[in-house]
């Protein structure tokens, strides 16, 4: 097992903190736990974790502010924990910077499932934890686009990095470099937004249901029967909303992201 995986827990309830610690240790993480938001931000800065669990209600600064501060310097995978379902609804209406959400009380296996999903996702090159080779040199381009991610990217043209970018109506998304451009200008997307956009670019006019997109974010290649809640589907809606705003896409006359009412999303028709 990869012993370099690090987690930071930001949680003021000691029972929950201990539960999370146990789950993450069992999943192979080196765990650092903090009671307050300020300590948590400092721990993320010094430990550079792969994953952060973040309680929304903390004694000093709230989880939104903690996430905002973390996002200034870190691409860590943030799981936000909320005490009540109503809080979750508020949370999903805002751009919190979190990648995933859990409502308390939760079962250890729910947290384990989210951690497992996070671990299936490919790492962004050069962001967060270093992905360079042991001698400090960046991995060669053919390594980045080829064998290391084989099977992760069904739409990627293997072995031809120059042709690997997905294009549609002036937007380019490159899974190899994890970059997105609109008319040549870079657009900064979170990992989750990037993966949703990639999923829709790959399947074009085929409708993707919200549940299908949740599974894609969990890196489940097919319906494995894992539980998908309303909150999971709401989270997809929120991420799509944030994605539209960042791309400058108009939902009423979409250039890229078309809503199929009551079902899900697909790529808007080509304007070429
Ligand atoms: Ca709390």
At 139-184, the pLDDT tens digits run 443 333 333 333 343 443 343 344 468 999 999 999 888 899 999 9
With beta carbons less than 8 A apart as the criterion, state whether 266 and 206 touch. yes
- What pLDDT score was predicted for residue 142? 37
- What pLDDT score was predicted for residue 41? 97
Is the pLDDT at 123 greater than 70? The verdict is: no
| Contact residues for 82 (Cβ-Cβ < 8 A; gap 6+) | 56, 57, 63, 88, 91, 101, 102, 103, 104
> What 8-state DSSP symbol labels residue 97?
-
**What is the whole-number distance in angstroms between the Cα of residue 108 and the centre of ligand 1?**
18
**What is the whole-number distance in angstroms between the Cα of residue 81 and the centre of ligand 1?**
9
**What is the whole-number distance in angstroms between the Cα of residue 82 and the centre of ligand 1?**
8
User: Which candidate, 109, 52, 59, places its Cα nearest to that of 81?
Assistant: 52
**What is the whole-number distance in angstroms between the Cα of residue 35 and the centre of ligand 1?**
9
**Predicted TM-score of the model (pTM):** 0.59
User: Which candidate, 221, 218, 220, 225, places its Cα nearest to that of 115?
Assistant: 218
**What is the whole-number distance in angstroms between the Cα of residue 95 and the centre of ligand 1?**
20
Backbone angles phi, psi at 41, to 5 degrees: -60, -45
**What is the whole-number distance in angstroms between the Cα of residue 162 and the centre of ligand 1?**
48
Contacts of range 103-108, beta carbons closer than 8 Å, 24 or more positions apart: 103/231, 104/16, 106/81, 108/19, 108/22, 108/23
pLDDT higher at 10 or 112? 10
**What is the whole-number distance in angstroms between the Cα of residue 5 and the centre of ligand 1?**
25
**What is the whole-number distance in angstroms between the Cα of residue 177 and the centre of ligand 1?**
38
With beta carbons less than 8 A apart as the criterion, state whether 189 and 243 touch. yes
**What is the whole-number distance in angstroms between the Cα of residue 125 and the centre of ligand 1?**
34
With beta carbons less than 8 A apart as the criterion, state whether 21 and 31 touch. yes
> What 8-state DSSP symbol labels residue 187?
-
């Amino acid at each position: 097992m990869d012993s370099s995986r690090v987690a930071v827990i930001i949680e003021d309830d000691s029972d929950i903190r201990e539960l999370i610690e146990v789950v993450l240790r069992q999943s192979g993480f080196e765990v650092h736990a903090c009671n307050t938001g300020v300590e948590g931000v400092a721990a993320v800065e010094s430990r550079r974790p792969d994953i952060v669990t973040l309680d929304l209600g903390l004694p000093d600064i709230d989880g939104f502010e903690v996430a905002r501060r973390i996002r200034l310097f870190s691409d860590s995978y943030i799981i936000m924990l909320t005490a009540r379902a109503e809080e979750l609804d508020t949370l999903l209406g805002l751009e919190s910077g979190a990648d995933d959400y859990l409502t308390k009380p939760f079962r250890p296996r729910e947290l384990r499932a989210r951690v497992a999903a996070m671990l299936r996702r490919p790492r962004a090159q050069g962001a967060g934890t270093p992905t360079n080779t042991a001698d400090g040199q960046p991995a060669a381009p053919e390594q980045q686009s080829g064998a290391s991610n084989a099977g992760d990217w069904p739409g990627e043209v293997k072995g031809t990095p120059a042709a690997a970018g997905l294009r549609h109506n002036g937007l380019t998304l490159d899974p190899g470099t994890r970059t997105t451009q609109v008319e040549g200008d870079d657009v900064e997307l979170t990992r989750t937004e990037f993966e949703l956009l990639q999923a829709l670019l790959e399947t074009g006019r085929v409708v993707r249901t919200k549940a299908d997109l949740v599974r894609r974010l969990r890196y489940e290649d097919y319906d494995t029967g894992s539980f998908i809640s309303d909150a999971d589907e709401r989270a997809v809606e929120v991420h799509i909303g944030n994605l539209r705003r960042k791309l400058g896409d108009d939902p009423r006359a979409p250039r890229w992201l078309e809503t199929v009412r009551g079902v899900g999303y697909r790529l808007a028709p080509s304007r070429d």
